[in-house]
Structure 1
Amino acid sequence: MKIEDRKSRILQCLLLIVNLSLSTTLPAQTSSPQPQALDEAGIFALQALDPNLFGQSIRIDSISRSQTYQAGLPMEDYLLNTAHACFIGRDIQYVDLYSASVDPSNHSTAIGAILIGLDPSASSDSLGRFHYQGILPEARLQVHEFWRFIRDYIHGSRPLTTDLVTLSAGIPYEDWWTRGFDRLADRTGLTIIAAAGNGSSVFDPVLYPAAGANCLAVGVLASTLGTDSRLSFGLPDPADSSSGPTADLRCKPDLVAPGNCLVPDPYALDAYHLTGDASSYATPVVAGIVGMLIQKARSVPELAAAVEGPAANCTLKAILLNSARKLPWWHKGMTDLDDDIAVPLDYLMGAGAVDAPAAWRQLLAASHPVGVVPSAGWNRSQISYSTSAVESYRFHIQSPTERITATLAWNRHYGDNYPYRPLPAANTDLRLELWAVDPENSSRDYRLSVSDSPNDNLEHIFIAADARFEWYEIRVMIGEKAVPDPTPPTTIETYAIAWRTTPASDWLDQSLWKDLNGDGSVTALDSLAYSVVTRFPVLLDNKSFRVNVLRISDSRLPLLALFEDIWVSMDNPVQTLP
């Protein structure tokens, strides 16, 4: 793309974000940029902050299943509708295509558009004129047929020439090829982003390879379409977004993202439609943000270590999860406090909703080695598999009302040969602790929080600071249930860690705290529930009334109790209704 064209399009994107028209010779834009889901994830806002992040020199491997197979062979119907206006001029390569004389795939077309589409003059009957832009329109999209990718790059170990891998397909159980994806991430440092599944409505557990230890699993936020044709995004719905734990009791998904995207019609030249809420389309949203971070890191020499070399996937995972926006009602594990040490994430929300500007800021906070560090940053380091090994990061906070978030990630290891079995002797179990410390009086030091999962290769802390302390220390060590201390240590584990502080209001000042019955919106029923729970709690004992009238499920009651101090402190929801 010519420099002049690129500058013009960057300016166009910036102007569209504030709903300005770019040309007096064309009809005025009547709608916000699309897909609106990208706006919800902060992607357009980040491109306004950093107007170079459109994917230049980024290569994305998108793995797509054919819609039909005959005698086990793909019939090539996994192609994009490249005749559509949003793909004109885009860099799309089919890596293993045998024949193109087939119908395009709606699924592949949608994913490709979310990643690299661009149509400045799009229109529809419901939206009028609008600017359509995928996340990385300057990137190269390398499209693979699913089983050929497994044959060539998983089983065949052919080297990949790509920056990230994304796939919106999976199965409900672990298999040799799903472990092959985990092995690929561990051996190459590639970030592999995969769809978690579409929830209980289609009987999906968290699907593999998303459920694999080294892959990044993405769930989907629920959305509603307003009468003005605008979407509003809420919390993930377990009916539509698969939730953990996995069969071996690990936390998945890793995070959630908006997925109801406006995408091109697979059989038209310029028509568009909404996908609906599906993890298949939330996954490329996260993949695109990963591409933005890779592009940014490579442009700044001090940041390049985040995305290069072994365990680069761990660094990006730590950055993404640590910067994810905590949603109302987020909690670790089950709906009580008993498992908070052993379960690092929310079983439905993961670490929270992906947040592109926050991930960018987390990356820019830069790498800082063990010792005294700023209150935000990340690092990749190594620790000996010894119970005496400790790596500490000490920092000062600016306000006693802040919340502290820390995320630790490392890879599981697998055999080099089919069927890529796990290597328990090579794996480690790490532990993450947060201490409040007094540099002048160490007798006051105490452990504020701990994350020590015996199952996950991930630890996560999200907690309010103690107003009595200004200094804190993050400690990385071997988990309490790890194997006995080897003499001498036989394993050194590479890990990535990210940390930051945020105002408490970032989590508390969200309207969906008023969604007491958990149906995704604040309505008169929530107002009635507020009155019942605060003034007439005995009525909750009547299950028929509670479930059928208030729509408060049995599983919702513990959450209401757990977060009572937050939602009771807010106004009755009826005061927010139109």
Structure 2
Amino acid sequence: MNNLDDSGYTGRDVGVCVLDTGIFPHIDFTGRIRAFHDFIGHRVRPYDDNSHGTHVCGIIGGDGRASEGKIRGVAPGCNLIVLKVLDRMGNGRKEDVLHAFRWILENWRYYGIRVVNISVGTTCRTYEDHKVLIDGVERLWDEGLVVVAAAGNQGPRPGSVTAPGSSRKIITVGSSDLLRGRTAISGRGPTFECVCKPDLVAPGNHVLACAPGTDNGYGIKSGTSMSTPLVSGAVALMLEKNPALTNVQIKMKLKESARDMGLPKNQQGWGELNLKQFMGL
């Protein structure tokens, strides 16, 4: 993933918390993995037995040193706080996600967390399961954190946005290049509560970013999981530029700067992320 921003901002000192399969200590993250907590295997050192989490972290904040600066994340100066809530198959339990939410509420000030990236989603079996995830994620938002979640890959049918991305409060991201044709997998609204979702979309097809392995290489993945960290990285840049902005103000800036793709709101939301416009360049 090439850094899309040439403003000079890197997300320096902005903490981004990533709930995923973990993180491989890739050279592109050197000195910036501020914390790692494993809710699955309870291991202490950072690891990723799937690759999904490392890829997401690379899109947010890889600094490109393994590629001589060619493949960088959006906010290559941000700090990464990684919570492993998914196993090696990419599966997870609602209880572990809720424990991770509580961990964030207890530790966000200490680690300087301003952004929470959730490239994780589930189609809940019951309304109760859905509600408990939504309530949990909205507590993070109410605390003032900018929560960015994937719309999920259950599209194109209506009502296919996964939880917790179906929360009306948080910022939900679909894939701008996975909305039409055979690859129209990006989740779309309306939600259970008849809320239009996603809020916006960003590229998510064939994204190149960090991959686990001793060679510190890169890999390609597709999905709304890849679109979401583009937005999280953009938010980190904005919070470096203006740390006083609230999560609601950030959400409004994303809305005002998005590029209208001319599609229904339940497909594209406000439109596609426009980083330069968002940063005021």
Q: Report the TM-score when normalising by structure 2.
A: 0.82
Task: Give the alignment partner of residue 149 of structure 2, picking from 194, 201, 206.
Answer: 194
Tell me by how many angstroms 1:136 deviates: 1.7
SS in 2 for 1:348: helix
Q: CA RMSD in A?
A: 2.8
**1:155–1:177 CA distance, 2 compared to 1 (3 A):** farther
SS in 1 for 2:64: strand
Cα–Cα, structure 1 residues 92 and 184, in superposed 2: closer, same or farther, change >3 Å?
closer
1:288 corresponds, among 212, 233, 244, to 233
Q: Give SS of 2:209's match.
A: strand
Deviations 1:135-164, CA, capped at 9 Å, x for gaps: 222211001133555226449952522111
What amino acid is the match of 2:10? Answer: F
Q: 1:141 aligned to 2:80?
A: yes
Say which SS state the counterpart of residue 266 (structure 1) adopts.
Answer: coil
The residue type paired with residue 262 of structure 1 is L
Match of 1:87 in 2: 29
SS at match of 2:164: coil
Would you say the 8 A contact 2:24–2:47 is kept in 1?
no
Residue pair 1:244, 1:348 contacting (<8 A) in 2 also: yes
Taking structure 1 as reference, are residues 176 and 103 closer, same or farther at Cα in structure 2, changes over 3 Å only? closer
Residue 236 of structure 1 contacts residue 349 of structure 1 at CA under 8 Å; is this kept in 2? no
Q: Equivalences for 1:153-168 in 2 at 5 Å?
A: 153-154=101-102, 158-161=106-109, 162-168=113-119
Q: How far did 1:242 drift?
A: 0.7
Give per-residue Cα distances to partners, 1:399-425, cap 9 Å, x unaligned. xxxxxxxxxxxxxxxxxxxxxxxxxxx
SS in structure 2 of the partner of residue 176 of structure 1: helix
Q: 1:330 aligns with which of 236, 257, 263?
A: 263
Change (3 A) 1:183 1:87: closer
Give the match's secondary structure for 2:267: coil
Q: Quote the Cα distance in structure 2 between the aligned partners of 1:203 and 1:143.
A: 32
1:150 to 80, 98, 120: 98
Counterpart check, 1:318 vs 2:252: yes
Aligned residue in 1 for 2:266: 347
- Give the secondary-structure state (helix, strand or coil) at the position aligned to 2:251: helix
SS of the counterpart of 2:49?
coil
Select the structure that is richer in strand. 1
> Following the alignment from structure 1 to structure 2, what is the Cα–Cα distance between the partners of residues 88 and 183?
31
Residue 238 of structure 2 aligns to a residue whose secondary structure is helix
- 5+ residue gaps in structure 2? 86-94, 125-129
What CA distance in whole angstroms lies between the structure 2 residues aligned with 1:320 and 1:297? 14
Name the counterpart of 2:90: none
What is the aligned partner in structure 2 of residue 247 from structure 1?
A: 192
Give the corresponding residue for 1:265. Answer: 211
Percent identity over the alignment? Answer: 26
Matched, 1:132 2:71: yes
User: How far off its partner does 1:271 sit?
Assistant: 2.7
1:201 offset after TM fit, Å?
Answer: 7.0
Aligned equivalents of 1:266, 1:189: Cα separation in 2: 32
SS in 2 for 1:160: helix
Is the 2:188–2:197 Cα contact (8 Å) retained in structure 1?
yes
Is the 8 Å Cα contact of residues 36 and 46 (structure 2) preserved in structure 1? Answer: no
Superimposed CA distance per residue, residues 244-284 of structure 1 (whole angstroms, 9 cap, x where no aligned partner): 111221100000001231123323413322112x0001000
Q: Distance in 2 between matches of 1:348 and 1:101?
A: 36
1:177 aligns with 2:128: no
State the structure with bigger RCO (CA 8 A, min sep 6), 1 or 2.
2
* Contact 1:80/1:105, CA 8 A, preserved across alignment: no
Asked if structure 2 preserves the Cα contact closer than 8 Å seen for 1:93 and 1:141, the reply is: yes
Question: Aligned in 2, Cα 1:140/1:216: closer, same or farther, shift over 3 Å?
Answer: same
Q: Report the TM-score when normalising by structure 1.
A: 0.41
Q: Work out which of the residue numbers 352, 356, 359 in structure 1 matches 2:278.
A: 359
